[in-house]
Amino acid sequence: MGGMKRIGILTGGGDCPGLNAVIRAVAKTAITQYGATIVGVEDGFEGLVAGHKRELENPDVSGIINMGGTILGTSNRGDPWHFPVTGPAGSEIRDLSAQAMDHYRQWQLDCLVTVGGDGTMNISNRMASLGANVVGVPKTIDNDLAATDRTFGHDTAVAVATEAIDRLHTTASAHHRVMVIEVMGRYAGWIALTAGLAGGADIILIPEIPFTWEGVYRKVIERSRHGKRFSIVCVAEGAKCPDVGEIVKAYDTKRTDAKQLGGVGDVVARRVSEGTGLETRVTVLGHLLRGGSPTAFDRVLATRFGVLAAHLAGRGQYGFMAALHGAVVEPVPIADAIASLKVVTRDHELVQAARAVGTSFGDG
């Protein structure tokens, strides 16, 4: 970089293990190798609209690689084009993208590093169209962002879900129960599929593979007939029930995607109990999957993403997102990353592996 430059960084959307590792990597690389000033935008795009920021120096980002959450704060209600404003007439949604761009210019940012999932990358792409220099870093426990093999946070979420399944195995076996575990993932089944496979779940229910109640009952009853008096069902929050489809817990119009999924575990547990006569319990892992320290894999991946993002900003390579392809971290156009949602395919190798060891997806 020619001369002193200012790089902004924000973390958008839901929190995720590894965010602080990215902040650390971007700041340390940009400060030490490019002499840049780092401007931390507080609470994601909400802070960009409201004008909340603080400069980050080396001491601010030291000792945070193992910390969950984000030292900058985050928000999933800060879309500048869909921004909730409360006034005398109540709450309304307004387009405040011009205000966000005003702060970008007032703060004299040469580049904005945005860390987030598909929503954050979509906003980043729109900001680029208004003239902002943007570099993206992919983050989501759901692992549903296209153009990258993995997103940091996913490995940690899978590790937490797998441990939970391990623990539920013991009580399921002791009490001869069917245990239903509901995990996050929204419209993609990667967490349920991976954790279910790692934890030895007997049934995995995901949005991408339609299931029938009869298929679920059949697997549970078959295990019972063979002397296996318990079953583990791992269900993704976005799994579609045969008779009612997605289970939506609530709607939040302040968010771009207003649907709040949740509750499918209760539906599955009730139907399994009614259909098999077996005692059934449900555990919803929910935000437990987002919290705590990142795994070593996520710390390393987040650091690699952050270092590349700092180099892209330093070289003036804007409009790109860091991505993992095989063993290599490399830039891809942000537009490619948001072209489609990455979901589980029915012939995916993990699906085939699960079927090979006897796991049911409720479709057979």
DSSP string, 211-263: --HHHHHHHHHHHHHTT---EEEEEETTPPBTTTBS-EEEE-TTSSS-EEE--
Are 362 and 268 spatial neighbours (Cβ–Cβ below 8 Å)? no
Token duo for residue 120: 């954050």
Residues of the chain with CATH 3.40.50.450: 6-152+294-326
In single-letter form, the type of residue at position 340 comes to S
Phi, psi of 316, rounded to the nearest 5 degrees: 75, 25
Q: CATH number of the domain at 155-291+345-356, out of 1.10.287.3610, 3.30.70.20, 3.40.50.300, 3.40.50.460?
A: 3.40.50.460
Three-class SS state of 177: coil
Residue numbers annotated as active site = 142
- For residues 283 and 343, give the distance between their C-alpha atoms in angstroms, rounded to a whole number: 24
Report which DSSP code applies to 360. B
Beta strands 90-94 and 320-325, pairing class: unpaired
Are 130 and 103 spatial neighbours (Cβ–Cβ below 8 Å)? no
- For residues 318 and 133, give the distance between their C-alpha atoms in angstroms, rounded to a whole number: 6
- For residues 169 and 194, give the distance between their C-alpha atoms in angstroms, rounded to a whole number: 17
Tell me the CB-side half-sphere exposure of residue 83, using CA atoms within 13 A: 21
Residues of the chain with CATH 3.40.50.460: 155-291+345-356
Beta strands 53-56 and 90-94, pairing class: unpaired
- Residue 229 has a pLDDT of 86
Burial of 287 (0-12, 13-18, 19+ CB in 10 A): exposed
Q: Which of 153, 104, 143, 107 is nearest to 124 (CA)?
A: 104
Instruction: Classify 235 in phi/psi space as left (phi over 0), alpha (psi -120 to 50) or beta.
Output: beta
- Residue 4 has a pLDDT of 54
pLDDT tens digits, the chain, 364 residues: what are they? 445 589 999 999 989 999 999 999 999 999 999 999 999 999 999 999 999 999 999 999 999 999 999 999 999 888 999 999 987 777 889 999 999 999 999 999 999 999 999 999 999 999 999 999 999 999 999 999 989 999 999 999 999 999 999 999 999 888 889 999 999 999 999 999 999 999 999 999 999 999 999 999 999 999 988 888 889 999 999 999 998 899 998 887 777 777 888 999 999 999 999 999 999 999 999 999 999 999 999 999 999 999 999 999 999 999 999 999 999 999 999 999 999 999 999 999 999 999 999 999 999 7
Token duo for residue 57: 């120096």
Three-class SS state of 115: strand
- Residue 1 has a pLDDT of 44
- Residue 86 has a pLDDT of 84
- Residue 226 has a pLDDT of 87
Report which DSSP code applies to 295. P
| DSSP letter for each residue of 131-155 | T--EEEEEB-TT--BTT-S--BTHH
For domain 6-152+294-326, say whether CATH 3.40.50.2300 is its number: no
| DSSP letter for each residue of 320-345 | EEEEEETTEEEEEEHHHHTSSB----
Beta strands 259-261 and 248-251, pairing class: antiparallel
Token duo for residue 33: 């190798």
Q: Which of 272, 264, 270 is nearest to 238 (CA)?
A: 264
* H helix intervals, the chain: 19-34, 44-50, 97-106, 118-129, 154-175, 190-199, 213-225, 264-276, 296-315, 334-337, 349-356
In single-letter form, the type of residue at position 201 comes to A
